[in-house]
Structure 1
Amino acid sequence: MTSAAQQHVLPGADAFRLRAGNFSILVLRLLDGRPEVVLPALGDQFRRAPGFLRFAPIAIGLDDLNLTPAEIDFPGLIAGLRGLDIVPMGVVGGSPALRQAAAAAGLSALRPSGAEKEIEQAPAPAPAEPPAPRSDFQGSGRTAMIVTQPVRSGSRIYAEGADLIITSTVNPGAEVIADGNIHVYGALRGRAVAGAADNPDARVFALNFDPELIAIAGLYAVREGLTAAPIGRTVMVRLDGESLRFEKL
């Protein structure tokens, strides 16, 4: 005789499991909501730095847009991003109306994992005592990611909430990203994106500076534009206002 429990087992129920996950993806902050403006700019970036963000999952940031849903062509933007081999996963920020329009086009609203729990459990600050000092990148429970092997072409490494320390070479076609600083104790020949969480104080250090692309907090330069940079030297890159500065060390 078949039990009631057995009768309610779904066919194929042992073929998969659903589990919560916490994954880091980059945010493409839109400063202009028009696909005819955004997509050519991205395409130009791809031509100058082949492979940049290729097949990367991204969230589309809407906080910098003061537009109505009718002013953004979400379907056109999604199709254009996929045509550039970028994978839009959802949207972050923006007004409820913008998020609703994005959802209608197939982009769900994303939020940081555990954000609500942190708000509920956060204790009220004591007015008589200043908060204890802490690292800018303490939230992930670590201060640095260390990579000891060469970063191969086609690889992408992201140090979420941390500095990234690489004791070997970043090869052409590789991409290294950090919310904090990037240290390369070898040749930097691929792409380096520091301050990815909008940290303008982040810096890039390389013993042999020869990148395809360098970026800090969203401001970038590609190899052909680095005519004033000391290529092949030990270099520190930092932001000076809205410009990248390249200093020999």
Structure 2
Amino acid sequence: MSSPASEARLEPFRLRGGNFNLLVLRLLDPRVEVIVPALADQFRRAPGFLRNAPIVLGLDDLDPSAAPDFGHLIAQLRSVHIAPIGTTGGATDVRAAAQAAGLPPLRAAGAELPVAAPAAPAPVPEPVQEMPPPPSDWQPTMVVDQAVRAGQRIWAQGCDLIVRGTVNPGAEVIADGNVHIYGALKGRAIAGGAENLSARIFALNFEPELVSIAGYYAVRDGLGDAPLGRIVQVCLIGESMRFDRLG
């Protein structure tokens, strides 16, 4: 005869919150036939970038009267191994068109989902508040004592990252803060993963496949006059990357 404990039904699932490092694909043009070929061109210049990656579509830059064909866009993105999972920003009608195609609006951590604004009450002066303390989940710097091999991905969540070796071609290092590479950067380096626009990338030998800060990125062919093979600091100035030679 079975005991009550053996007859107890196991939980079929559990829900829990989580923070994920997602890239936002800002749509600047509503035409699918323009967006997808441009992405394919980036793939040719940075093999492996965004392949099979979940992304969020940024809608803030789109004309509210000219929403893309989201159903067609989703199909075309999936055909090049990109998985759109939702949207951020944008006008109400554009968000509604995306949601009808299966892309729900997503919210940033601690933010509310966009909804139609109710009538604003009379303004009430807010009390003066002190600056908030640093995030409680910010961690000590992560240190990697060896080279990062092709195919490896290292993510320093909620902190800076120091790599005491080479980041090889095909490897990827990610940090919510700054990235310091005391060796050659030959793979991909992504800083400011938590939308930290002040994050920076430092490398003793700068020869990357791709660098990115807070979602803004440049591939090898788009580095312009960056001092390749030198000690370099990468930072954001507005929406443009600056490559400064150090030493």
Is 2:24–2:215's contact at 8 Å kept on the other side of the alignment? no
Gaps in structure 1 of 5+ consecutive residues = 1-6, 117-123
Deviation at residue 229 of structure 1 after TM alignment: 3.1
Provide the rounded CA distance (Å) in 1 between the counterparts of 2:176 and 2:27: 19
Deviation at residue 109 of structure 1 after TM alignment: 1.9
* Corresponding position: 1:186 with 2:186: no
Amino acid across the alignment from 2:138: G
Deviation at residue 130 of structure 1 after TM alignment: 4.2
Structure 2 residue corresponding to 1:96, chosen from 88, 92, 96: 92
Is 1:182–1:204's contact at 8 Å kept on the other side of the alignment? yes
Provide the rounded CA distance (Å) in 1 between the counterparts of 2:140 and 2:105: 29
Bigger helix fraction: 1
* Corresponding position: 1:27 with 2:24: yes
Is 2:64–2:90's contact at 8 Å kept on the other side of the alignment? no
What are the Cα deviations for residues 37-83 of structure 1, in whole angstroms up to 9, with x where unaligned?
22121111110010011111111122222323x53111121112112
State the TM-score, normalized to the length of structure 1: 0.76
Query: Compared with structure 1, are the counterparts of its residues 109 and 226 closer, same or farther at alpha carbon in structure 2 (3 Å cutoff)?
Result: closer
Structure 1 residue corresponding to 2:170, chosen from 158, 169, 173: 173
Query: Compared with structure 1, are the counterparts of its residues 110 and 192 closer, same or farther at alpha carbon in structure 2 (3 Å cutoff)?
Result: same
The residue that corresponds to 2:131 in the other structure is 131
What SS is found at the alignment partner of 1:230? coil
What are the Cα deviations for residues 205-232 of structure 1, in whole angstroms up to 9, with x where unaligned?
0122221122334443322444633333
Query: Compared with structure 1, are the counterparts of its residues 125 and 144 closer, same or farther at alpha carbon in structure 2 (3 Å cutoff)?
Result: farther
The residue that corresponds to 2:55 in the other structure is 58
Query: Compared with structure 1, are the counterparts of its residues 145 and 89 closer, same or farther at alpha carbon in structure 2 (3 Å cutoff)?
Result: farther
* Corresponding position: 1:111 with 2:107: yes
Query: Compared with structure 1, are the counterparts of its residues 99 and 240 closer, same or farther at alpha carbon in structure 2 (3 Å cutoff)?
Result: closer
The residue that corresponds to 2:121 in the other structure is none
What SS is found at the alignment partner of 2:148? coil
The residue that corresponds to 1:3 in the other structure is none
The residue that corresponds to 1:248 in the other structure is 246
What SS is found at the alignment partner of 1:108? coil
Provide the rounded CA distance (Å) in 1 between the counterparts of 2:42 and 2:90: 25
What are the Cα deviations for residues 150-191 of structure 1, in whole angstroms up to 9, with x where unaligned?
333233334455433223321211222334321112221101
What are the Cα deviations for residues 76-115 of structure 1, in whole angstroms up to 9, with x where unaligned?
2111211221111111222332222112111122223454
Provide the rounded CA distance (Å) in 1 between the counterparts of 2:67 and 2:17: 34
State the TM-score, normalized to the length of structure 2: 0.77
Q: How does 1:125-164 map to 2 (within 5 A)?
A: 126-127=127-128, 130-131=130-131, 134=133, 138=135, 140-142=137-139, 144-164=141-161
Deviation at residue 199 of structure 1 after TM alignment: 4.1
Is 1:22–1:113's contact at 8 Å kept on the other side of the alignment? no
The sequence identity of aligned pairs, in percent, is 54
Query: Compared with structure 1, are the counterparts of its residues 17 and 240 closer, same or farther at alpha carbon in structure 2 (3 Å cutoff)?
Result: closer
Query: Compared with structure 1, are the counterparts of its residues 64 and 225 closer, same or farther at alpha carbon in structure 2 (3 Å cutoff)?
Result: closer
> How many residues are treated as equivalent by the alignment?
232
